[in-house]
């Protein structure tokens, strides 16, 4: 996302040119309080950086900002590139919070460096709280056993993807996969081996799906793959590839060599669909695959 950042710094023109540090310090302290209040409005790390950049821009001219956090995968770029840069590694104690870089065409003065450093103190704790909150949200949507997204994440993402596909008039498909005779694995080998089998299946499905496909553990031994820009024929091809890959590859779990199969039901988004209707059609197709002998893919009925 690119935004045009504030281009004026009228309040600091005279202090910066004359070197009147007392006036600059007074203006910076006032701005720090304003930033603290503004940052209380959100816990979204991206939004926090946007607000901070805008507030700082009313005091210190800059043409672009980049916030990078390798741990969270955030790489936010605002404004535009410019010749000169001023970069900071953000930390609270030994806790890294990422790096923040300001860019503009003119060099930053020593007075501006001092002001930026003081203003950054207003960002650190709100940013850490935002990162912790985002991390908690992500953990709440992860299945602790397999590491993939869980049912809560599926419910949210299915609504979002369905709404997007209907607005843009694009295709969307969904498959529901169930491990055949999974109860027998738990009964014969125990739940530790069963858990290992679930992780192995999740890895195999992940290896088969495309980069844009979304994988979820629905619950128990059921998995869901949500396929963007994919019609029923394309979804069928992926489902068959997954089914065949699982059937043809054995794996070792806690000393036991397991060979398993999976049944899969597939549905495609229809006009006026809602998430429940789309999922229900795939689920019914799955149970039809079970009833017909397992280790197969069944397509949802047209009605």
Q: Which positions are annotated as active-site residues? A: 221
Q: Are 64 and 103 in contact (CB under 8 A)?
A: yes
What is the C-alpha separation between 222 and 214, in angstroms, rounded?
Answer: 14
Partnered with residue 177 across adjacent β-strands are 223, 264
Q: Are 145 and 124 in contact (CB under 8 A)?
A: no
Q: Are 149 and 216 in contact (CB under 8 A)?
A: yes
The tokens describing 201, both together, are 């299946």
What is the C-alpha separation between 166 and 122, in angstroms, rounded?
Answer: 42
What is the C-alpha separation between 148 and 117, in angstroms, rounded?
Answer: 39
Q: Tokens 């969307």 identify what position?
A: 172
Three-state DSSP at 157 gives: helix
Q: Which of 205, 177, 186, 303 is nearest to 256 (CA)?
A: 186
The tokens describing 50, both together, are 């946007």
Q: Are 278 and 245 in contact (CB under 8 A)?
A: no
Sign of the Cα pseudo-torsion (48, 51, 54, 55, in order): negative
In 7-58, beta strands by DSSP E: none
Strands across the sheet containing 297-299 = 214-219, 222-228, 172-179, 262-268, 297-299
């Amino acid at each position: 996302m690119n935004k045009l950042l504030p281009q004026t710094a009228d309040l600091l023109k005279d202090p910066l040119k004359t070197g009147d540090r007392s006036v600059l310090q007074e203006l910076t302290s006032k701005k720090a309080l304003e930033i603290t209040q503004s940052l209380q409005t959100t816990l979204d790390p991206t939004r926090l950086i946007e607000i901070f950049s805008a507030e700082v821009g009313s005091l210190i001219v800059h043409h672009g900002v980049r916030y990078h956090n390798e741990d969270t995968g955030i790489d936010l770029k605002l404004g535009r590139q410019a010749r000169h840069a001023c970069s900071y590694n953000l930390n609270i104690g030994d806790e890294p919070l990422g790096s923040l870089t300001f860019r503009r065409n003119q060099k930053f003065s020593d007075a501006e460096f001092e002001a930026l450093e003081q203003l950054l103190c207003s960002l650190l704790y709100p940013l850490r709280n935002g990162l912790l909150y985002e991390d908690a949200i992500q953990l709440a949507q992860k299945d602790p056993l397999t590491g993939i997204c869980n049912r809560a994440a599926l419910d949210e993402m299915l609504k979002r993807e369905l709404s997007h596909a209907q607005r843009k008039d694009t295709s969307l498909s969904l498959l529901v996969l169930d491990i055949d005779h999974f109860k027998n694995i738990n009964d014969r080998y125990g739940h530790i081996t069963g858990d290992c089998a679930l992780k192995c299946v999740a890895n195999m499905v992940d290896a088969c799906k495309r980069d844009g496909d979304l994988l979820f553990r629905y619950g128990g031994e059921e998995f869901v793959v949500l396929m963007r820009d994919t019609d029923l024929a394309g979804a069928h091809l992926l489902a068959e590839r997954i089914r065949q890959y699982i059937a043809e590859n054995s794996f070792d779990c806690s000393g036991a060599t397991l060979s398993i199969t999976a049944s899969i039901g597939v549905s495609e988004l229809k006009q006026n669909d809602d998430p429940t209707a789309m999922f229900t059609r795939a689920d019914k197709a799955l149970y039809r695959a079970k009833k017909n002998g397992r280790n197969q893919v069944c397509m949802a009925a047209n009605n």
